[in-house]
Amino acid sequence: MKIGTILLPRTAALAPMAGVGDRAFREICRSFGAAFTVGEMASAKGLMYNDKKTEQLLCLGEGEHPGAVQLFGDDPGFLADAARRAAEFGPDWIDLNMGCPAPKIAGNGGGSALMKNPKLAGEIIRAVVQAVDLPVTVKFRKGWDAGSVNAVEFAKMCEANGAAALTIHGRTREQMYAPSADWEIIAAVKQAVHIPVIGNGDVVDAESCAALYRKTGCDLAMVGRGALGRPWVFGQIAAYLDTGVCPPEPDLPQRMQVLLRHARLACQYKGEYIAMREMRRHSFAYMKGIRGAADFRRRSGMVSTLEELQALTDELINTL
């Protein structure tokens, strides 16, 4: 599929994940074959008010292309100005978040709340499209709740206002991240528009990715939580789609090597103090599913330095 003039392999992309999908994690996922990555959502107002933390969310590494930055907000003018500013960071396209279910986002009119106001959402898309010389994509959900499932109509509106591609998460805002995603709505959106459609929700491994393609006909799959602690899932997906055979999971030493490489990148970009505290959730995920590692997972939540993490992983390998 293409976003603008950018040709993307039909494998799987990394979903934008606030508080998790930082530059270090995105680069690790790209190294394992993610088709593209999207940065953590950044506030349009925060960017225009020169908030330094917001600017950090827009930084892309050399290895992150193709890649996008993601903006959220509820004011067309602010988002147009923010898009021009975001374009200075060198993304390949700009993604608009109209699907975040978090109360602090949706409660202030952004994210998935825009699905209740398609007119305003359309004005935002059009304003951003006119503001930048980059493709503009939109990520949204099935609807706000069970009584207002409007993904198909919303998708048509996005296309009419100039969106270059769409990503749909197969749950309503009310459902948050459970129960199972509705892949039928993804298929319906794909049938309703002429621009590329990316499917998101419950793609956690190679088999589920292939199933999403079969059942929805979408142009690309997106992996979110399924990549936490398992960034090699992108390589497994690519191999499975190509050959029908899924490579095995890395062994324990290999898994810990990836964890340490991830941690070193995080320290490089954020400094050890912040990085190692944020790495705790990732460390826990990398150790998930390892028999006998419960105590090590618990201890990973108390690691404060790269040296401590190295010692913990060494002990884990020697013990198990």
CB 68 within 8 A of CB 91: yes
Which residue among 29, 59, 100, 218 is the active-site one? 100
**E strand residue ranges, the chain:** 2-3, 6-7, 12-14, 37-43, 67-72, 93-98, 136-143, 165-172, 197-200, 220-223
Q: Nearest to residue 134, comparing CAs of 84, 197, 63?
A: 84
Q: Is residue 59 annotated as a catalytic residue, yes or no?
A: no
- 273-277, long-range: CB < 8 A, 24+ apart: 273/304, 275/24, 276/303, 276/304, 276/305, 276/306, 276/308, 276/309, 277/304
Token representation of residue 90? 């060198």
The residues assigned a catalytic role are 100
